[in-house]
Chains A and B, each alone.
Chain A
Amino acid sequence: EVQLVESGGGLVKPGGSLRLSCAASGFTFSNAWMSWVRQAPGKGLEWVGRIKSKTDGGTTDYTAPVKGRFTISRDDSKDTLYLQMNSLKIEDTAVYYCTTELSIPYWGQGTLVTVSS
């Protein structure tokens, strides 16, 4: 059974940093492209970015609002995906979901990030 468990969310001040983790199990993590998706309170879903598998180059893509501030990385030895978020803004407040880009996508339950002074 595929499982994705996010952690690391919390309250942070504007300009601060936070690192989210996503522990994966039930599939071959090293072969999977992985993404982060967020949802601000009362708003729709927004794709944040992805990291490809190392065999496909391990490169990353990001949506424009987070480019230069967010970094996605992976540790295949730990089956874990990361989202490093720097220079956080109030508008980054959202639930952040970890997702797989497999033939059938899977999602975690999300972790809440609140950016507030």
Chain B
Amino acid sequence: SYELTQPPSVSVSPGQTARITCSGDALPQHYAYWYQQKPGQAPVLVIYKDSERPSGIPERFSGSSSGTTVTLSISGVQAEDEADYYCQSADSSGIYVFGTGTKVTVL
């Protein structure tokens, strides 16, 4: 079955830039979405259609795409950005799938 691969964890110091990658063979054909999830809360959309930011999401969150990899970048990381992050996209049949998830730790 189709998989989206993310690094299990990323550690970053406050004020630095965190980059989370998501790799999948069908990513060139389908948009990617990124979700932030804090403990005990529902996921929050932070990036849609590869690089668009919903209203209310800080400008420090950005998304990019290159071939079979999409990347979520968080510039000027703050303590409140510590959370799990998931990418989502579709396989060749249009069936949605989520990435394995990345835990971002702010040192």
Contacts and interface: CB of A to CB of B under 8 A. Distances in A.
B107 interface: no
13 contacts: A44-B99, A44-B101, A45-B43, A47-B96, A61-B93, A63-B95, A97-B42, A103-B48, A104-B45, A105-B33, A106-B45, A107-B42, A109-B42
B61 interface: no
A61 B48 contact: no
Interface string B92-104: 0111111111000
Given A44-B101, A107-B43, 20 more contacts: A44-B98, A45-B37, A45-B43, A45-B88, A45-B98, A45-B101, A46-B98, A47-B97, A47-B98, A50-B96, A61-B94, A61-B95, A97-B42, A97-B43, A103-B48, A105-B48, A106-B45, A108-B42, A109-B42, A110-B42
Q: Which 8 A-B pairs rank lowest in CB-CB distance, beginning with the nearest?
A: A47-B96, A45-B98, A44-B101, A109-B42, A45-B86, A104-B48, A107-B42, A110-B42
Interface string B52-66: 001000000000000
A17 B97 CA distance: 25
- The number of chain B residues touching the other chain, given as a range, is 20 to 34
Interface in B33-53: 33, 35, 37, 42-43, 45, 48-49
Contacts of B54: 104
Nearest to A50: B96
A110 B45 CA distance: 15
